Amino acid sequence: MFFLRNSWLIPAIPGACFFLVLFFGKKMPGKGADIGIAGVLISFLLAVATAVKWISMSTPRHAVERHVTWFKMGGIDVHAGTHIDGLAVMMLFIVTLISLMVHVYSLGYMHGDRRFTYFYAALALFTASMLMLVVAPNTLQLLVGWELVGVCSFMLIGHWWEEEINSAAAIKAFITTRTGDVGLMLGIITLFFAAGRNFDIAHLNRLALTGGISHHLLLVSGLLLLLGVVGKSAQFPLHVWLPDAMAGPTPVSALIHAATMVVAGVYLVARVYGVFFAGFSIGPHAGGINWVAAIGGITVLIGAALAFVQDDVKRVLAYSTISQLGYMVMALGVGAWTAGVFHLFTHAFFKALLFLGSGSLIHAVHSNNMSDMGGLRKRMPTTFWTFIVGSLALAGIFPLAGFWSKDEILLGAQRGGYPAFFWVGLVGAFMTAAYMTRACYLVFWGEYRGEGHPHEAPATMAWPLRILAVGSIAAGWLSAFGFHGFPSWVSFEVEGVTREVVHEFAFSVPYAAASLAVAFIGIGVAAGYYFRDLGPHGLTRRSSAARAGYHFLEEKYFLDRLYINGIIRSIQYPVARAAYWINQNVIDGVVNGAGFVSRMAAGFVYNIVDQKIVDGVVNGAGFTAEESGGILRYIQTGRVQQYAAVLFGAAALFALILVLTTA
Partner 1 sequence: MLGFPVLTALIVLPAIGAALVVAIPRTRPEIVKVVALAVSVAVLVLACYGLYEFATGTAGFQFVSRHVWIKQWGISWHLGIDGISLFLVVLTALLFPFALAGSDAHHDVKAYTAWMLVLEAGCLGVFLALDLFLFFVFWEIVLVPMYFLIGGWGYEGRVYAALKFFIYTMTGSALMLVGILALVFIHAGHTGHLTFDLQTLAREQSFSGSTARWLFAAFAVSFAIKVPIFPLHTWLPDAHTEAPTAGSVILAGVLLKLGTYGFLRFGLYLFPKVSHDLAPLLLTLGVVGIIYGAIVAAVQRDLKRLIAYSSVAHLGFIILGTFALTTQGVQGGIIQMVNHGLSTGALFLLVGMIYERRHTREIADLGGLQKVAPVFAGVFMLVMLSSVGLPGLNGFVGEFLVLIGTFISRRWWAVVAATGVILAAVYLLWAYQRVFHGVPEGENLKFPELRWREGAVLAPVLALIVFLGVYPKPVLDRMEPSVRTLVERVDRQAGTHQPSVAQGGHR
| Residue 559 interacts with partner 1 (CB under 8 A): yes or no | no
| Residue 189 interacts with partner 1 (CB under 8 A): yes or no | yes
| Residue 477 interacts with partner 1 (CB under 8 A): yes or no | no
Query: Which CB, 143 or 439, lies closer to partner 1?
Result: 143
Amino acid found at 30: G
| Residue 504 interacts with partner 1 (CB under 8 A): yes or no | no
Q: Which stretch binds partner 1 (CB under 8 A): 239-247, 436-444, 547-555, 590-598?
A: 590-598
Phi, psi of 84, rounded to the nearest 5 degrees: -110, 115
Query: Which CB, 205 or 324, lies closer to partner 1?
Result: 205
- What are the residues facing 78 on neighbouring strands? 71
Buried b (16+ CB within 10 A) or exposed e, 519-548: bbebbebbbebbeeeeeeeeeeeeeeeeee
Q: Answer for the pair 194, 244: CB distance below 8 angstroms, yes or no.
A: no
Query: Out of 44, 54, 118, 421, which residue is the one contacting partner 1 (CB under 8 A)?
Result: 118
| Residue 26 interacts with partner 1 (CB under 8 A): yes or no | no
Query: Out of 38, 57, 171, 553, which residue is the one contacting partner 1 (CB under 8 A)?
Result: 171
Amino acid found at 617: V
Query: Out of 164, 447, 533, 610, which residue is the one contacting partner 1 (CB under 8 A)?
Result: 164
Query: Which CB, 158 or 476, lies closer to partner 1?
Result: 158
| Residue 534 interacts with partner 1 (CB under 8 A): yes or no | no
**Helix, strand, coil percent content, the chain, rounded in steps of 5:** 75, 5, 20
Specify the 3-state DSSP secondary structure of 259.
coil
Q: Which stretch binds partner 1 (CB under 8 A): 156-164, 292-300, 338-346, 538-546?
A: 156-164
Q: Which positions from 610 through 649 interact with partner 1, judged by CB under 8 A? A: 621, 624-625, 627-631, 634, 639-640, 643-644, 647-648
* Whole-number Å distance between alpha carbons of 189 and 198: 9
Query: Nearest approach, Cβ of 617 to partner 1 (angstroms)?
Result: 12
* Burial class of 57 by CB neighbour count within 10 A (0 to 12, 13 to 18, 19+): middle
Query: Nearest approach, Cβ of 211 to partner 1 (angstroms)?
Result: 11
Query: Nearest approach, Cβ of 192 to partner 1 (angstroms)?
Result: 7
| Residue 28 interacts with partner 1 (CB under 8 A): yes or no | no
Q: Answer for the pair 259, 98: CB distance below 8 angstroms, yes or no.
A: yes
Buried b (16+ CB within 10 A) or exposed e, 107-138: bbbbeebeebbbbbbbbbbbbbbbbbbbbbbb
* Whole-number Å distance between alpha carbons of 251 and 258: 10
Query: Nearest approach, Cβ of 239 to partner 1 (angstroms)?
Result: 17
Max Cα distance, the chain (Å):
105
| Residue 226 interacts with partner 1 (CB under 8 A): yes or no | no
Query: Out of 29, 75, 510, 538, which residue is the one contacting partner 1 (CB under 8 A)?
Result: 75
Amino acid found at 39: G
Nearest to 104 by CA among 26, 24, 158, 41: 41
Is the bond leading into 510 cis (omega within 30 degrees of zero)?
no
Query: Nearest approach, Cβ of 588 to partner 1 (angstroms)?
Result: 4
Query: Which CB, 9 or 175, lies closer to partner 1?
Result: 175
| Residue 569 interacts with partner 1 (CB under 8 A): yes or no | no
* Whole-number Å distance between alpha carbons of 394 and 432: 7
| Residue 587 interacts with partner 1 (CB under 8 A): yes or no | yes
Query: Nearest approach, Cβ of 620 to partner 1 (angstroms)?
Result: 11
Q: Which positions from 390 through 429 interact with partner 1, judged by CB under 8 A? A: none
Query: Which CB, 93 or 118, lies closer to partner 1?
Result: 118
Total site size for partner 1, rule CB under 8 A: 80
Query: Out of 513, 579, 597, 613, which residue is the one contacting partner 1 (CB under 8 A)?
Result: 579
Query: Nearest approach, Cβ of 11 to partner 1 (angstroms)?
Result: 12
- What are the residues facing 262 on neighbouring strands? none
Query: Out of 52, 73, 534, 613, which residue is the one contacting partner 1 (CB under 8 A)?
Result: 73
**Which residues of 8-156 form beta strands (DSSP E)?**
64-73, 76-84
Q: Which positions from 120 through 149 interact with partner 1, judged by CB under 8 A? A: 140, 143-144, 146-148
Query: Nearest approach, Cβ of 662 to partner 1 (angstroms)?
Result: 5
Q: Answer for the pair 402, 480: CB distance below 8 angstroms, yes or no.
A: no
Query: Nearest approach, Cβ of 595 to partner 1 (angstroms)?
Result: 6
| Residue 69 interacts with partner 1 (CB under 8 A): yes or no | yes
Please measure the distance between the N-terminal and C-terminal CA atoms of the chain and give it in whole angstroms: 75
Query: Out of 23, 483, 552, 580, which residue is the one contacting partner 1 (CB under 8 A)?
Result: 580
Query: Out of 214, 371, 565, 570, which residue is the one contacting partner 1 (CB under 8 A)?
Result: 214
| Residue 608 interacts with partner 1 (CB under 8 A): yes or no | no
Specify the 3-state DSSP secondary structure of 266.
helix
The sign of the torsion formed by the CA atoms of 520, 524, 526, 531 equals positive
Amino acid found at 231: G
